[in-house]
Amino acid sequence: SYVLTQPPSVSVAPGQTARIICGGKNIGSKSVHWYQQKPGQAPVLVVYDDSDRPSGIPERFSGSNSGNTATLTISRVEAGDEADYYCQVWDSSTDHLVFGGGTKLTVL
C-alpha cells in the first residue's frame, strides 16, 4: 500500500516561513491535499490538488508537489497557525485514500 511520510514536528518563529513536507514514491504524479487540525477540532482543508486553496483560506498557505516530495508552505506564520497538519492522496492503483502521519507545527 502507498505510504506518506511526514516529519513529526516543525518549529518556526512568528513572521517566518514554515515548510512541512510529505514524502511518497513518485508523489509528484498524484494530487496532494493538506489539512489543518487544531486541538479538539475537526480537520480543515487548507490546500487541495497540490496548490489550490479553498475559499476562506489565507494566501499565506500554499502548496507544491514534485518528484517524491510535496510541500505545504505557510508564509508569515502566526500564533494561530499552530496545529497538526496532514497530507492526503488518492492511491489510484487501489482506489484507497491515504493520510500522512501528521506534523505538529509549533510557533515559537
Q: Phi, psi (5° rounding) for residue 98? A: -130, 135
**Residues forming beta bridges with residue 37, ordered by sequence position:** 84
Q: Which of 31, 68, 73, 75 binds other proteins (CB under 8 A)?
A: 31
Overall residue count recorded for the chain in this entry: 108
Residues 6+ apart with CB under 8 A from 25: 2, 3, 68
Q: Does 101 engage in binding with other proteins (CB under 8 A)? A: yes
Identify which of residues 15 and 58 has a Cβ nearer to other proteins in the complex: 58
Q: Does 90 engage in binding with other proteins (CB under 8 A)? A: yes
Q: Does 5 engage in binding with other proteins (CB under 8 A)? A: no
Q: What is the DSSP letter of 79?
A: G
Residue ranges in contact with other proteins by CB under 8 A: 1, 30-31, 33, 35, 37, 42-45, 48-50, 54, 84, 86, 88-90, 92, 94-102
